[in-house]
Structure 1
């Protein structure tokens, strides 16, 4: 395919009329939030825009020459352009499941399935493409903008000329994205479906025969839409230009759907209505932002006037401090990385002060999966994750990478410390490759959070060397890595006991604390960690809502149980009270003394009833308190996160469909 010039995905072609309308409404940049649209509808909208504005044009350029070549071939082999009703091609190929549909060409639909009167001549490759589709999908005049994604995907699926890999992905996109989109099933558009939609579109791009430049351009557009779409969903501040671009594309998509409408197209009528509603909501938001633009202009003018009047001399901007660390982050998260056999697990056990990770001398990895350990140190929870080693003969790098990505879910929102564990000795090429692997995965910023731990400290004593002297005489490759992590290193003897054991752990955490202060207390993060945290927060929210619902049900059950317990007794007391009231209010009691006695009995009955009611309410409150005391500890941020980390570590509860599969696909699609 011919390679295309690079296009900004938020600057795709807009119709001239729409462009003129937009040019009249140019405003300066301002930001705002879009908080008045449902998240499901936002996901549905963003994926629909990508399907219409990126995937459909790509498929048209891809399909057109292939169908044209097939048409020329069938003209030569079957004279398809000269067919008559007594002899015409019924299937292609002969083994095809589908009969060719001649109803959609040459106005044959007007014959109302009187097949003998059909005109079977196929006079263009466009008409040929229609033979493979249902009549309601074949309402287009060319393989151009009149040909929608449903028809394009149908061609790929039903025409044998397309490669099997392309067919498989096209079928998945039609089933999982396009059909769900066209039926406006908003409830299906959760975060997993949104991510999987971009993964499938990316897989399709990979399968097509594209040049590197065009493939990279399409990937870039998908990534931009995915990223800005997530900001759109998360109610993050968006520039007015981006908001307006989304509104423009919504308008273009709405106008396109309108051209596809017929009186019987209930499906597309629903799509069109939703798109018009979304466009209206976006336009209202833009008008609000424009109003804010004017307000900000006025504020800036006033500030400038103040500055001039006060003759401010110092025009140097003050340093703006980094965002403060969240008060909720009362953890230190540590990830152990390094080559097999260098003592990662033993180092983790030393830090934990307990034998938690399986550890032994071995050339193959004892740690096959990521494992987590936790303990308290000076009021903070310390979370340590031990990862599998690389370059084993029995474990593939693909499996190890999967576990490392799973580690992201276990240390979200991000680790404060990456510990590179290296045993004393020659820093080999394998160790260098280990570091390279992690830098490729996490980026150069990982060095800001890295500490190197040299194991087998006892070897230094035998050579009468300090760790500083050892480093001074080490090879340049190791010195380069140490320089990048600002010479944060320490030596460990993992079989140490007594005071020396505690001293080396204290020394390690002193380096950690110094590094954390330098980093402003912030943890390491990147797009993968942000995605994982978003998924974890979603799961935590779902779990909390489920616990709240369960607590509410159990509270109601407790209330009903106590109510039932007191019901008969209260009914008996109420009945006795009512009987006394009836007697007192009747004319049967003549004596004042009898009336006084009766009134006294009634007062006692009221007091007794009130005591029972108070007793009942007190018992209800006590039982509710016990129920809440049972549930509330499970609903804290710490408990919810710990539970989700357990689910990630043990691969249960379906969370890997949100985190592991999403992150692996995200990484493969966008090269993260």
Structure 2
């Protein structure tokens, strides 16, 4: 299987004077850029920027398609790009101003398409510039396309591969990251050498009636809960409050205490509850490979699928664009429609000091957007009243209501079902090997050694699962890395 890209090549092409510049992507004035009817960029130039572990190389081109440059020079330039792009995926960004689409511009686009050829057109995105002018007119890109029939048809021809840049935005990293994530998603979907199972979209959510029956021990009242959030928000402490005991290590610290994915179980209000604690996936400085393994582990130990994903936030924290991206990230990590099984869990609710949580959410637009993405579902834990079981029972009731709204049962997809199969096979193999041993010999075995053998068998199942789905987990790690600030890795 083709490995996860460590670099991405973006080649900017389009008409001279159409805002053909990678400065927005780079976050700095690296290329000469100004409005002109003549080409500003005379030679191909390249600049790079890093998002997490992903190196993004941006190629600024001369206005090849509306100048007097001869055909031979154009072809040589294209060949140069294609040779360079062997170091990673190569994507062409066809830069078009979000304005009237004239006959002259239409001719230029047709010329570009002819010269790139069908193979490279499948890797071409339309990049609309001057999105700020649409904002000033209070117009969305969809409304603009509906009013501009030629561009609407062009976008349809490119299978909706387009993105909009606000070139006047002071903070451009969000719109750039969203572009990169879109490109990576498309890259993943179009790979030709991934296993057949991955072409069947194993991340697609399965409805309750299509889910394979769980193991007999998994009763209808049992609950599997996955805790997600940045480092230091109180995931482990929340897990301890839910379970009514303290199996997870928890300290007051802004840094992550949990470095591994852990699962702990207890009987809560007469039902079996399993809580899966995870490292701070969204702000981690882990290497890409290590992060991919730990994401996979969180899937493996929560199979056949969680009943709830709790996105943990502290009420006293400032909510940023990074928190708004969490729903998008968890869909990359766990599968489509996981937000339908997600609840925002506020910790340290005692620090609201009497303020209504509804008012608190209304006062923070970014937080309101995040809660909205999770269907308006949220819950508040009072960490100073950790023995208050009413707040835990209320949370479990909200999870029950969410499950009912989703048609019953836990979240699942093909990936989760495969994880469960690998776990079951590993356990059955361990049991078969134990039965082969003489009863007397087994009775004399060191219990610690027996436990180590069990962990080794579990590890073998996980290795098989990770091998099958490593491509997805590595891409998820890349996407999370993109969300860090450029050059902070």
Residues 105-184 of structure 1 correspond to what in structure 2 (within 5 A)?
Answer: none
The aligned residue for residue 496 of structure 1 is 385
Question: Going by fraction, where is strand more abundant, 1 or 2?
Answer: 2
Change (3 A) 1:507 1:379: closer
1:224 to 168, 187, 196: 196
Give a deviation string over 1:600-622, Cα, whole Å, max 9, x none.
xxxxxxxxxxxxxxxxxxxxxxx
1:420 to 307, 311, 320: 311
The aligned residue for residue 357 of structure 2 is 467
Residues 308-457 of structure 1 correspond to what in structure 2 (within 5 A)?
Answer: 322=209, 326=213, 328=216, 329-330=218-219, 331-390=222-281, 392=283, 394-396=285-287, 398-425=289-316, 426-457=318-349
Q: Is the 8 A contact 1:409 1:529 kept in 2?
A: yes
Task: Work out the CA distance in 2 between the residues paired with 1:468 and 1:359.
Answer: 28
Task: Work out the CA distance in 2 between the residues paired with 1:326 and 1:217.
Answer: 29
The aligned residue for residue 405 of structure 2 is 518
Residues 6-17 of structure 1 correspond to what in structure 2 (within 5 A)?
Answer: none
Task: Work out the CA distance in 2 between the residues paired with 1:419 and 1:222.
Answer: 32
Change (3 A) 1:435 1:401: farther
Change (3 A) 1:386 1:410: same
Change (3 A) 1:524 1:324: closer
Change (3 A) 1:400 1:365: farther
What SS does structure 2 have at the residue aligned with 1:522? coil
Task: Work out the CA distance in 1 between the residues paired with 2:452 and 2:121.
Answer: 40
Task: Work out the CA distance in 1 between the residues paired with 2:427 and 2:406.
Answer: 28
Task: Work out the CA distance in 1 between the residues paired with 2:432 and 2:337.
Answer: 36
Q: CA deviation at 1:447?
A: 1.0
Q: Is the 8 A contact 2:208 2:408 kept in 1?
A: no
What SS does structure 2 have at the residue aligned with 1:479? helix
Q: Is the 8 A contact 1:409 1:645 kept in 2?
A: no
Q: Does 1:527 align with 2:419?
A: no
The aligned residue for residue 543 of structure 1 is 430
1:660 to 466, 470, 474: 466
Task: Work out the CA distance in 1 between the residues paired with 2:372 and 2:348.
Answer: 22
Q: Is the 8 A contact 1:339 1:434 kept in 2?
A: no
Give a deviation string over 1:262-281, Cα, whole Å, max 9, x none.
xxxxxxxxxxxxxxxxxxxx
Change (3 A) 1:399 1:668: closer
Q: Number of aligned residue pairs: give it.
A: 286
Task: Work out the CA distance in 2 between the residues paired with 1:448 and 1:470.
Answer: 23
Q: CA deviation at 1:325?
A: 7.9
Task: Work out the CA distance in 2 between the residues paired with 1:223 and 1:393.
Answer: 29
Change (3 A) 1:217 1:525: closer
Q: Is the 8 A contact 1:388 1:400 kept in 2?
A: no
Give a deviation string over 1:172-226, Cα, whole Å, max 9, x none.
xxxxxxxxxxxxxxxxxxxxxxxxxxxxxxxxxxxxxx96859979834644377
Larger Rg over CA atoms: 1
- Higher relative contact order (CA closer than 8 Å, sequence separation 6+): 2
Q: Is the 8 A contact 1:449 1:524 kept in 2?
A: yes
The aligned residue for residue 27 of structure 2 is none
Task: Work out the CA distance in 2 between the residues paired with 1:443 and 1:217.
Answer: 14
Change (3 A) 1:471 1:662: same
Residues 226-245 of structure 1 correspond to what in structure 2 (within 5 A)?
Answer: none
Q: Is the 8 A contact 1:373 1:384 kept in 2?
A: yes
The aligned residue for residue 21 of structure 2 is none
Q: CA deviation at 1:539?
A: 1.4
Q: Is the 8 A contact 1:364 1:392 kept in 2?
A: no
What SS does structure 2 have at the residue aligned with 1:453? strand
Task: Work out the CA distance in 2 between the residues paired with 1:218 and 1:321.
Answer: 29
Q: CA deviation at 1:456?
A: 1.4
Q: Is the 8 A contact 2:232 2:254 kept in 1?
A: yes
What SS does structure 1 have at the residue aligned with 2:385? coil
Change (3 A) 1:218 1:422: closer
Q: Which runs of 5+ in 2 are unaligned?
A: 2-85, 88-118, 124-186, 444-450, 480-489
Q: Which runs of 5+ in 1 are unaligned?
A: 1-46, 48-164, 167-209, 231-319, 559-626, 631-642
Give a deviation string over 1:590-640, Cα, whole Å, max 9, x none.
xxxxxxxxxxxxxxxxxxxxxxxxxxxxxxxxxxxxx9xx9xxxxxxxxxx
Question: Going by fraction, where is helix more abundant, 1 or 2?
Answer: 1
